[in-house]
């Protein structure tokens, strides 16, 4: 992975940049992520909010209740609908970037599967990755 890393939507209306290494990389199997991704889970690169910025365009957001408290705001391109990120009210200092929106997703390396309690039976998860029925312990940054 090269810092900064960049990404955007499929039509090019949205462009972003991140100036920090990920805090965590994960697959979320919650029902909201299933519905918003159209698949069995969503993959995220979690980064510090202050390290993330938009270079072009602005997102449209859909909010849904979060079991952590408040809502999770899922941002997508208003032109093409590409999912870009999630912003949870309960953890305002992070941004969860959708892995598919990265210009180079080849470096993505999931560390955990979360919300496995909502996973579909036919979803074949990697047995080598730690599993959490709901949320994992809060991520910490090594200084």
Q: What confidence tens digit (pLDDT) does each residue in 89-105 have? A: 989 999 999 999 999 99
The strand pairing partners of 116, in sequence order, are none
What is the distance between the alpha carbons of residues 131 and 120, in angstroms, rounded to a whole number? 14
Q: Taking Cα atoms as reference points, which of 110, 109, 123, 97 lies closest to residue 30? A: 123
Q: What is the pTM of this model?
A: 0.88
Cα–Cα distances in Å, from 48 out to 45, 60, 95?
10, 21, 6
Q: What domains can be seen in the chain, in order of their start residue? A: 5-118 (2.170.150.70)
Give residue 141's pLDDT.
Answer: 52
Give residue 110's pLDDT.
Answer: 95
Q: Taking Cα atoms as reference points, which of 101, 92, 99 lies closest to residue 12? A: 101
Q: Taking Cα atoms as reference points, which of 122, 139, 121 lies closest to residue 130? A: 139
Give residue 142's pLDDT.
Answer: 52
pLDDT < 70 regions, the chain? 137-143
């Amino acid at each position: 992975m090269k810092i900064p890393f960049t990404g955007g939507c499929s039509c090019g209306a949205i462009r972003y940049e991140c100036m920090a290494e990920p805090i965590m990389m994960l697959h979320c199997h919650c029902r909201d992520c299933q519905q918003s991704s159209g698949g069995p889970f969503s993959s995220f690169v979690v980064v510090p909010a202050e390290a993330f910025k938009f270079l072009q365009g602005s997102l449209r957001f859909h909010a849904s209740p979060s079991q952590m408290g408040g809502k999770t705001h899922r941002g997508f391109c208003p032109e093409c609908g590409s999912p870009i990120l999630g912003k949870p009210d309960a953890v305002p200092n992070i941004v969860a970037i959708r892995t598919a929106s990265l210009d180079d997703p080849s470096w993505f390396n999931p560390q955990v599967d979360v919300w496995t309690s909502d996973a579909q039976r036919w979803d074949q998860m990697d047995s080598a990755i730690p599993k959490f029925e709901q949320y994992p312990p809060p991520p910490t940054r090594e200084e």
